[in-house]
Structure 1
Amino acid sequence: MEYLESRRSRIEDRLEEVLDAVEPPELADQVRHVSLSGGKRVRPMVTVLACEAAGGTTADAVDFAVGIELVHNASLVVDDIIDDSELRRGVDAAWTAFGYGPAILASDGLLGEAFALFSADEQAMQVVAEAMVELGEGEATELVAQPSTEEEYMTLARRKTGALFRAAAELGAVAAGADAYTVESFGNYAERVGVAFQIRDDVLDETADPEELGKPTGQDEEMERPSLVQITDLTPEEANERAYARADAALEALETATVTRDGNAQALEYLQDLAEFVVLRER
């Protein structure tokens, strides 16, 4: 665990450094509330681990890691407004704490800081821009054309959750200077992990204790939000089986990545562990 904690600490330190520089102070308070109120930091850890597995270092990847976390946090602000969710990670959602206008400004501020971190690398900008397009299409689809079949659900999950996971891993490979095939392999791995993560979220919304989860449960049904369990009438156990299948597919994609002799074998092992963790987590 020391290996992971040291990298998480680097991410947290750089995240705080970026947020501390935000102006004016009122905006800084809002973006800090959103980004420093907890979170598993799964996506930035994927960026760092993918970079190290592909032969790079934590230092090579940390700015991209922080950037993808900021993009993710910006999307959560909007999600909470759309879903009318008052809590996020056990504390007030941004719109609850500051109001709708300031919350939207906080989301914009987070995106601005994120793209400043990506701006020096054209390939990184392209990766994130493509993910943002997918994410936007997913959000719009959820609002106006909700899925009614398992296949449609999987497409939505790939756009809403898988796209940012894909970007996180591809950014890590880009930071390591990996070839295009390796970048794509890491991206395929992470996209499938992201879909498994989303399915597990659906299951937790059905089965978890709200206090342990850090947010209200039963929201999918109450908000008529597309959930694999709600759409297909699968039991939570059966839905989990779908998540396991996606996790297995992620591991298959990871095996196709070209990892050089300089690649960190421990980082690769933790990426493998992540594919198993996302379907076992309880929050």
Structure 2
Amino acid sequence: MEYLEARRDRVESRLQAVIDDVEPDELADQVGHVVLSGGKRVRPTVAVLVCEALGGDPADAVDFAVGIELVHNASLVIDDIIDESEVRRGTPAAWAAYGHGPAIIASDGLLGEAFALFSSDERAMQTVSEAMVELGEGEAMELVAQPTNETEYMELARRKTGALFRAAAELGAIAADADAYTVEAMGEYAQRVGVAFQMRDDVLDDVADEETLGKPTGHDAEMERPSFVEVTDLTTEEANAKARAESDAALEALDTVDAPNSQSVEYLRELAEFVVVRER
């Protein structure tokens, strides 16, 4: 556990430093409210672990890790506005705390800070740009062309959630100067982890209590959003089994990579297994 905490602490410290440099102070307060109010930090942890697993220096991945966390948080600000969700991570959502205009500006500010961190590496810029296109397409699909079956839902999850997970892993591999095959394989691993994460998230929205989850539950049904449970009409047990199958596929992709740091690989394996049993 100390192994993971040390890497998360490094990411957290760099996040704080980035926020501290934001100007003006009002914008710094708003982006800080979004980013520093908690969060699992799964995506930045993936970036650092992948870099280290491939023999790279984890310090080389920290800026990319922070960048992908900023992109993720920027998307959450917009999600909460669209969903009219007033709570995020047990605290007021950005729009609820500051209003719609300042929240949108905060989202833009987060993206600006993120791309400043990616700008030193052409491959990193391309990776994140492609992920944001996928993310945007996923958001649009959810709003105007909602999936009506499992195949369409999986495509949505791949774009809306899997894309940033993929980008996180690919950024870690790029930081380790990995070859194209390894970058792709790590991206496949993480994308499937992300999809499994989303499937489990939908199950939790259906069955968990708000205090445990840290955000309102039953929101998918209330907003008539295409939850995995609703689209497929599966039982909770069946939906969890589908998520586990996606997790297993992620592990298969990970097994194809020649990764010299076995400790980091083991944590990546544990992550793939954890996302389908988590309770929040």
Verify same fold: TM over 0.5. yes
1:97-148 deviations in whole A, cap 9, x for unaligned?
A: 0000000000000000000000000000000000000000000111100000
Q: Does 1:16 align with 2:16?
A: yes
The residue aligned with 2:254 is 254
The residue aligned with 2:278 is 281
1:63 Cα deviation after fit: 0.3
CA distance in 1, matches of 2:64, 2:94: 24
SS of aligned partner of 2:49: helix
CA distance in 2, matches of 1:41, 1:163: 16
1:257 Cα deviation after fit: 1.4
CA distance in 2, matches of 1:24, 1:264: 42
SS of aligned partner of 1:185: helix
1:239 Cα deviation after fit: 0.5
The residue aligned with 1:83 is 83
SS of aligned partner of 1:68: helix
Instruction: Report the identity percentage.
Output: 76
1:78 Cα deviation after fit: 0.4
Q: Please tell me the residue identity of whatever aligns with 1:258.
A: D
The residue aligned with 2:228 is 228
The residue aligned with 2:111 is 111
The residue aligned with 2:268 is 271
The residue aligned with 1:138 is 138
The residue aligned with 2:95 is 95
1:57 Cα deviation after fit: 1.5
Please show how residues 119-158 of structure 1 align to structure 2 within 5 Å: 119-158=119-158
The residue aligned with 1:59 is 59
1:241-271 deviations in whole A, cap 9, x for unaligned?
A: 1100000000000011132xxx321000000
1:172 Cα deviation after fit: 0.1
SS of aligned partner of 2:277: coil
SS of aligned partner of 2:204: helix
1:65 Cα deviation after fit: 0.3
What CA RMSD, in Å, does the superposition of the two structures yield over aligned residues? 0.5
1:174 Cα deviation after fit: 0.1
The residue aligned with 2:74 is 74
The residue aligned with 1:187 is 187
TM-score by length of 1: 0.98
1:237 Cα deviation after fit: 1.1
Structure 1's consecutive aligned runs of 4 or more residues displaced over 4 angstroms after TM superposition are none
CA distance in 2, matches of 1:228, 1:6: 35
Q: Does 1:219 align with 2:219?
A: yes
Q: Please tell me the residue identity of whatever aligns with 2:277.
A: L
SS of aligned partner of 1:281: coil
Q: Please tell me the residue identity of whatever aligns with 1:25.
A: D
Count of aligned pairs between the two proteins: 280
1:58 Cα deviation after fit: 1.5
1:3-40 deviations in whole A, cap 9, x for unaligned?
A: 00000000000000001000000000000000000000
Q: Please tell me the residue identity of whatever aligns with 2:176.
A: A
Q: Does 1:49 align with 2:33?
A: no
TM-score by length of 2: 0.99
Q: Does 1:31 align with 2:34?
A: no
